[in-house]
């Protein structure tokens, strides 16, 4: 379980394909605090630490993760948002994030707005995932509040601190990002579907 509050950025140092899996090695300032079998969110994707070597650690992504996220397009030297699992008893500064990506989205607009920056994302709504204004959304692992909500798109406002301390600064028009929709919203949609049957 995560909060969507990014701790630090990591840099991808190696990617190895083995059958359907990807082994991804990352250099990070928090590597010394990690241990084998620990869960870490990478751009919102919950992955397990399988190896640690000095300031680098390795995680493995399986076929389903590769299909549902943007991990297959990651490149060496690319920055990823990192967050370790939430500690029981800590303040929940973001929102409840599972680290299970629902789908990807494409950035369609980036607009400066008096000190912040508005990012608009579009996604395939055939999955029936939804956003609501002032609701929560996780983009590349970052807990954000929805500013504008449409049928298959939404906007978020990024403050300068978030822009500086996450990989939002590397997002451009047509960039593909990972989305995790609000878990409460997903249950509401599912219950509504069951009542209509």
Is pLDDT at 137 greater than 90 in this prediction? yes
The more confident residue out of 126 and 163 is 163
Q: Does domain 103-196 have CATH number 3.40.50.300?
A: no
> What average pLDDT does range 3-12 have in this prediction?
96
Tell me, what's the pLDDT at 188? 79
Q: Residues with Cβ < 8 Å from 88, sequence gap 6 or more?
A: none
Q: In CATH, what number does 8-84 get?
A: 2.40.30.20
Question: 103-196: same fold as 8-84?
Answer: yes
- State the Cα torsion 55-61-66-68 to the nearest 10°: -100
Give per-residue pLDDT as tens, 161-197: 999 999 999 999 999 999 999 988 778 777 777 787 7
> What average pLDDT does range 5-29 have in this prediction?
97
Helices (H), the chain: 63-68, 160-165, 183-196
- Give the domain ranges of the chain: 8-84, 103-196
The two beta strands, 153-158 and 142-149, are antiparallel
**Residue 164, phi-psi category: left (phi > 0), alpha (psi -120 to 50), beta (remainder):** alpha
Place of tokens 């919102």: 44
CA angle 30, 19, 44 (to 5 degrees): 35
Q: How far is CA 6 from CA 97, 103, 113, 116, 191, in A?
A: 12, 20, 23, 18, 31
Give per-residue pLDDT as tens, 151-161: 899 999 999 99
Tell me, what's the pLDDT at 197? 72
Token output for 185: 């919203």
Q: How far apart are the first and last CA of the chain?
A: 32
Give per-residue pLDDT as tens, 45-101: 999 999 999 999 999 999 999 999 999 999 999 999 999 999 877 777 888 899 999
Please count the other Cβ atoms lying within 10 Å of the Cβ belonging to residue 49: 19
Q: Tell me, rounded to whole angstroms, the distance of Cα 133 from its chain centroid.
A: 19
Contact criterion met (CB below 8 Å) for 66 and 122: no
Place of tokens 């508005």: 118
């Amino acid at each position: 379980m995560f909060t969507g509050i990014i701790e630090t950025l990591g840099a991808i140092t190696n990617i190895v394909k083995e059958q359907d899996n990807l082994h991804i090695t990352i250099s990070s300032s928090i590597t010394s605090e990690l241990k084998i079998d620990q869960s870490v969110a990478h751009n919102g994707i919950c992955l397990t630490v399988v190896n640690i070597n000095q300031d680098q650690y390795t995680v493995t992504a399986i076929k389903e993760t590769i299909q549902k996220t943007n991990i297959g397009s990651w490149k060496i030297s690319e920055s990823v948002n990192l967050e370790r699992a939430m500690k029981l008893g800590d303040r929940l500064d973001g929102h409840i994030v599972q680290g299970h990506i629902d789908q990807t989205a494409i950035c369609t607009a980036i607009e400066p707005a008096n000190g912040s920056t508005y990012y608009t994302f579009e996604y395939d709504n055939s999955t029936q995932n939804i956003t609501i204004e002032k609701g929560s959304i996780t983009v590349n692992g970052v807990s954000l509040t929805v500013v504008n909500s449409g049928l298959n798109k939404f906007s978020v406002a990024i403050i300068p601190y978030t822009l500086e301390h996450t990989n939002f600064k590397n997002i451009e028009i047509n960039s593909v990002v990972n989305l995790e929709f609000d878990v409460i919203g997903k249950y509401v949609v599912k219950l509504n579907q069951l009542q209509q049957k």
